[in-house]
Amino acid sequence: MSSNGQSDAMSQGAFRALADPTRRRILMHLSKGEMPIGDLVDQFAITRAAVKKHLVILEEGELISVHQRGRERINRLEPKGLKSVSEWLNYFSRFWDDRLSDLKAAIETETENQIQRKK
Amino acid sequence: MSSNGQSDAMSQGAFRALADPTRRRILMHLSKGEMPIGDLVDQFAITRAAVKKHLVILEEGELISVHQRGRERINRLEPKGLKSVSEWLNYFSRFWDDRLSDLKAAIETETENQIQRKK
DNA sequence: TTGACATGAAACCATAAGGTATTATATTGA
DNA sequence: TCAATATAATACCTTATGGTTTCATGTCAA
C-alpha cells in the first residue's frame, strides 16, 4: 500500500461523518456562519436530540468545533477534518482532475504573458 | 441552502462508499491497476463475499466500474464518483485550502525556470 | 462434455447508525 | 430564588451495515 496510510487513519472520523446527507447539510449551514444548535434544528424536520447526535459525530471527525458562550454552545466549521479528506482524495486526483491541469495551463499562459510584457 | 444541492445528491453514493476503510483500501489497490476480485481478496482478511459486497457499493457510488473479460470480471477505478466528491468538498475549500495557492506558486516558479532554461 | 476454477447470489447474524421520547442539568433575568 | 430558556444525556426502537456460510452459475481446457 505504501502511501496514504497515515492520512487515511486520521480521516476515518471525517469520512464517516460525511457519509450522512443531514450532516453534510449541517456543514453547508455552518459554512454561512457559526451558530448554536437551536438555529440548526429550525432547518431540519428532526428532533433536537437527533441534530445533537450529528453534531457529536461531526465534532469527532474534526469537521466542526464547539465553543461555549454563556448558556449557548456555538458550533463552528473546522477546516482540519475537511482538509484531511481533501488530502486523501488528492492521492487520486491524477485519475480525473482536469482542474489541476487546466489551472496549470492557465497559469503558464498567464506567466508567459507577464514575461512577454516585461520585455 | 442554494449552492451545492444537486452535486450533493449525486455524490451521496460516493460519500457512503468512502465511509468504510476497507473500501478506501480497495480504491488504493485499484489505483495501482485494474484487477479481478480474486486479486483483491488476497489483500484482505475477509471472505470473497464480503469483498464482493464492498465492490457493489463502490460501483453504486461510481467509484469503480466492472468489465467482463472471459470468465473474469475486472474492477477498474472510475473517476466520476471521486470527482463529484471533490467538487462537493471544493465548496468548502475557501475555509482551509492552501493547496491551490501553493500549487500556483510552485507552477509559477517552475514555469519561470523552464523559460530561463530556454534562453 | 466434464471437471476445475472464477465468480455471483441468497439466507442469516451481530452490531452500528439514525431516529424518537423522556429526563436531567446549567445559566440568565426578574 | 425561581421560572424560563438552552442544552445535554439516557433509554429505547427500527433499519442499515459488514460480515459469514452455503449454494448456484458460467467459462475455460483437456
Helices and strands counted in chain B (H then E): 6, 3
| pLDDT greater at residue B93 or residue A117 | B93
Cα(first)–Cα(last) distance of chain A, in Å? 49
Q: What is the mean pLDDT of residues A37-62?
A: 95
pLDDT tens readout for residues A79-88: 889 999 999 9
pLDDT tens readout for residues B68-97: 888 889 999 998 899 899 999 988 888 876
Q: Is B35 helix (H, G, I), strand (E, B) or coil?
A: strand
Q: Is B44 helix (H, G, I), strand (E, B) or coil?
A: coil
Q: DSSP secondary structure string, A80-115?
A: HHHHHHHHHHHTTGGGT-HHHHHHHHHHHHHHHHHH
- Name the minimum distance, in Å, from the CA of B57 to any CA of chain A: 13
Give residue A9's domain range. 5-94
Residue A54, pLDDT above cutoff 90: yes
Cell of A83: 482538509
* Residue B23 and residue B58 in contact, taking contact as beta carbons nearer than 8 Å: yes
Burial tier of B3 (Cβ tally within 10 Å: 0-12, 13-18, 19+): exposed
Lowest-pLDDT range, B39-43, B109-113, B115-119?
B115-119
Residue A117, pLDDT above cutoff 70: no
Nucleotide nearest A57, CA–C1', reads C17
Q: What is the mean pLDDT of residues A9-35?
A: 94
pLDDT tens readout for residues B26-60: 999 999 999 999 999 999 999 999 999 999 999 99
Total domains in the fold of chain B: 1
Nearest residue for D25, CA–C1':
B71
pLDDT tens readout for residues A99-116: 566 666 666 666 666 665
Residue ranges near strand D (C-beta within 7 Å): A 36-38, 48-49, 52, 55, 66, 71-73; B 16, 19-20, 22, 45-47, 49-50, 53-54, 57, 70-71
**Mutation to test the A interface, candidates B8, B25, B82, most A Cβ within 10 Å:** B82
Measured in whole angstroms, the distance separating CA A3 from the mean position of its chain's CA atoms is 22
CATH number of the CATH domain containing B44: 1.10.10.10
Nucleotide nearest B19, CA–C1', reads D17
* Residue A19 and residue B15 in contact, taking contact as beta carbons nearer than 8 Å: yes
CA distance A96 to A90: 10
From A3, which residue of chain B is nearest by alpha-carbon distance? B28
Q: Is residue A116 part of a domain?
A: no
CA distance A14 to A38: 23
Q: Do B15 and A1 touch (CB under 8 A)?
A: no
Residue A74, pLDDT above cutoff 80: yes
* Residue B119 pLDDT grade (very low, low, confident, very high; cuts 50, 70, 90): very low
Instruction: Give the angle subtended at the CA of B104 by the CAs of B114 and B4, to the nearest 5°.
Output: 145
Q: What is the mean pLDDT of residues A61-66?
A: 95
The one-letter code for the residue type at B40 is L
CA distance A69 to A31: 19
CA distance B24 to B99: 22
Q: Is residue A113 part of a domain?
A: no
Give the CB-side neighbour count of residue A76, counting CA atoms within 13 A: 12
Q: Which residues pair with B77 in a beta bridge?
A: B64
Q: Do B107 and A112 touch (CB under 8 A)?
A: no
Cell of B10: 449525486
